Each structure stands twice: as C-alpha cells, then as structure tokens.
C-alpha cells in the first residue's frame, strides 16, 4: 500500500540522488575547465620557444654553425616537449570520456622494466645514476600498452628528478594475488601537501628538477587511471629531502608457466 509517507521518502531519495548527480557533473566540468587551462598554459612555453628561436635563426650568420646548432637543438627539444604534452592530454581525455579500452593479457613485468631501462640508458649514463634491480619472476594480467606507459612514466620521473650520481631502486614483490612494483629515487622529494594533491588535476602544478627541467605531473595522473582500468593502483610516498617512492600494484596472471 502506497502512503503519503512512502511517497515523501521516495521523493526525498530521488532528490538526494539528483543532487549527487549534479555534484558529480559539477566536478567533471571543473576538471575539464582545469584541464583546458593546463593544456593552454603548458603548451605556451614550448611553442613560444619554437617561435622565438625560429625567428632568431633568420637573423643568424649562416656560417656560425655553433650558434645554429644551439638554436636548432632548442627548437627540436621544445617540439618534442610539445608533442609529449599533446599525447598526454589526448590520453587523459580518452580515459575521462571512457573511449580508452583495456585489453588484458599476460605480461612479463621484468621484461618491460629492463627494456625501459635500456631505452633511457643514455640519460642514465649522462647523469651517472645507479639502477638497483630486485625483480621476481612472474606474469601480470593487464593491458600491455597501459602497463608500459605506467612503468615508462614512473621510471622516467625517477630519472628526471634524481640528482647526478643518484640511486634508483626498482623491485617487485608478490602480495596475495597481486604484484607490487616499487620504484624509489633519492631526489629532493615532495612536501606532504604536494603528495596529497599529486593525483588531483585541479591541483596540478609544474615541478622543476635540479637541471631546471620542468615536469607537468599529468603523466602520473594518467598512470593511476590506467592502473584502475587494469584493477590495480598507483600510490606515491615522499618526504622533502628524502626522495620519492612509487608503488604500482597490478593483478597476477593465473598462468605463471
């Protein structure tokens, strides 16, 4: 039997659900607006460098090969930075719109880690960074492309924010039905507030390495989204002056043969 009280309770429930949906939409719009603002701001710097040094090239003596090479190197580096930013923005937008599909397969995580270290070998040698590995054998069940992106982004950040002659440790451990990949550097670390805000795009801000390289922080946000799509997670621990530790958890494959 339907009573006035039942109808009142139903209306209250419906109103509460509607308010919750409106709040979610407001947060999504806020994130979108912040995303567009970040994209415009972050692209302004490398595009400005490309335009500025392209103009300088037109006034440079064609016989001054040293200066020409310097300007061209800056233009190429700025173009690569702009391309990387656009790729990350595209990846993030795909995740948020639900168009990024997750294709699960068996993955040998140690192979991915070693391949990435070899990919960054020149930078590692240039900065005289020591890589300490403690990798257990085992397979994950995750998306190959997403897992590679996660590992590449986190390892690159560790290299980027490590000092010259620094140390980076990479280890894997098995916990229940998951594999935990831990990547730790001995860089300058982050304060408590920066750690708390690191996965919030509305709080995203650029950080600068000892070599004055700028990091946008967007790749780490994408890493956490990707890990969630693979039924995993990414956790960051850090203290100022004590380096940063990133723990990536992904499910183990039932096929370990």
Query: Tens of pLDDT along 186-195?
Result: 888 888 888 7
112-131 average pLDDT score: 90
| pLDDT for the residue numbered 56 | 83
Residue 181 falls within a domain, yes or no? yes
CATH number of the domain where residue 81 is located: 1.10.287.130
| Together in a domain, 49 and 86 | yes
| Together in a domain, 87 and 126 | no
Distance of alpha carbon 129 from alpha carbon 120, whole angstroms = 11
| Together in a domain, 242 and 116 | yes
pLDDT > 60? residue 179: yes
Distance of alpha carbon 44 from alpha carbon 227, whole angstroms = 30
9-66 pLDDT tens trace: 555 666 777 776 777 666 666 666 666 666 676 777 778 888 888 888 888 888 878 8
pTM, two decimal places: 0.72
| Together in a domain, 184 and 130 | yes
- Count of residues in the chain: 257
| pLDDT for the residue numbered 31 | 62
Distance of alpha carbon 46 from alpha carbon 27, whole angstroms = 29
Last residue of a domain, one of 62, 97, 132: 97
Residue 26 falls within a domain, yes or no? yes
Last residue of a domain, one of 97, 116, 133: 97
Task: Note down the domain range covering 91.
Answer: 4-97
HSE toward the beta carbon, residue 89, CA cutoff 13 A: 19
Output 67 or 134, whichever has higher pLDDT.
134
HSE toward the beta carbon, residue 122, CA cutoff 13 A: 1
């Amino acid at each position: 039997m339907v009573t006035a009280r039942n109808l009142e309770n139903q209306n209250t429930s419906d109103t509460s659900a509607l308010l919750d949906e409106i709040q979610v939409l407001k947060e999504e719009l806020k994130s979108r607006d912040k995303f567009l603002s970040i994209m415009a701001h972050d692209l302004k710097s490398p595009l400005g460098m490309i335009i500025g040094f392209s103009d300088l090239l037109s006034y440079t003596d064609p016989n001054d090969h040293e200066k020409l090479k310097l300007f061209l190197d800056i233009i190429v580096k700025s173009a690569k930075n702009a391309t990387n930013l656009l790729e990350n923005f595209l990846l993030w937008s795909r995740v948020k719109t639900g168009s990024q599909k997750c294709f699960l397969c068996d993955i040998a995580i140690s192979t991915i880690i070693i391949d990435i270290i070899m990919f960054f070998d020149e930078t590692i040698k240039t900065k005289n960074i020591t890589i300490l590995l403690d990798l257990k054998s085992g397979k994950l069940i995750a998306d190959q492309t997403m897992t590679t992106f996660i590992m590449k982004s986190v390892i690159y950040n560790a290299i980027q924010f490590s000092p010259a002659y620094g140390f980076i440790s990479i280890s894997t451990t098995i916990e229940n039905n998951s594999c935990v990949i831990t990547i730790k550097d001995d860089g300058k670390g982050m304060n408590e507030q920066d750690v708390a805000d690191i996965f919030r795009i509305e709080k995203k801000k650029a950080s600068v390495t000892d070599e004055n390289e700028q990091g946008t922080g967007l790749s780490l946000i994408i890493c956490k989204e990707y890990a969630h799509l693979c039924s995993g997670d990414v956790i960051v621990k850090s203290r100022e002056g004590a380096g940063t530790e990133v723990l990536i958890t992904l499910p183990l494959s039932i096929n370990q043969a």
